[in-house]
Amino acid sequence: MNNNQQSSEGRHDDDAALSEFLASLMDYTPTIPDELVEHYLAKSGFQCPDVRLIRLVAVATQKFIAEVANDSLQHCKARQASIIKDKRDKQQKDKRTILTMEDLSKALREYGVNVKHQEYFADSPTTGLDPASRDE
């Protein structure tokens, strides 16, 4: 009995938090525009007139992409940290972080996406070069 009461209280809290969260979505503008999300949702047979749900989907996608991007950023930083000292000195000048296929595929693998990219596919003449030596 006591346990039930506790859980119902907790449920009330959850519901309050949830409704608050959904209400906050009305004011929140996700990076992925509503129109785009609606387009994809309509394409997949998702019907819902509620803007909050569309925002929720947009936020979820944004969170997923942000997590993947964050993971690849960590991979990128780890890779840069492992470069030997003398090279790193040069690198201190430009603190550019570039989203590369290498880091991205590593990050995506953890999310169940197996990215297979061509090893020597050069989308720019400087692709094969070391990121540090690109500007030289």
Name the site residues for another protein (rule: CB under 8 A).
Answer: 7, 10-11, 14-15, 17-18, 21-22, 24-25, 28-29, 31-33, 35-37, 39-41, 43-50, 53, 56-57, 59-66, 68-70, 73, 76, 95-101, 103-105, 108, 110-113, 115, 117, 121, 123-124, 127
Query: Residue 132 carries which side chain, given as an amino acid letter?
Result: A
Closest approach of another protein to the CB of residue 89, in Å: 20
Question: What's the CA gap between 133 and 127, in Å, rounded?
Answer: 11
Q: Which is nearer to another protein, 55 or 86 (by Cβ)?
A: 55
Task: Give exposure, 2-37, as e/b (b: 16+ Cβ within 10 Å).
Answer: eeeeeeeeeeeeeeeeeeeeeeebeeeebebeeeeb
Q: Which is nearer to another protein, 1 or 112 (by Cβ)?
A: 112
Closest approach of another protein to the CB of residue 78, in Å: 14
Question: What's the CA gap between 133 and 131, in Å, rounded?
Answer: 6
Closest approach of another protein to the CB of residue 5, in Å: 15
For the CA atoms of 26, 64, 72, 70, the dihedral, rounded to the nearest 10 degrees, stands at 40
Sign of the Cα torsion 34, 46, 66, 124 reads negative
Closest approach of another protein to the CB of residue 54, in Å: 10
Q: Which is nearer to another protein, 73 or 83 (by Cβ)?
A: 73
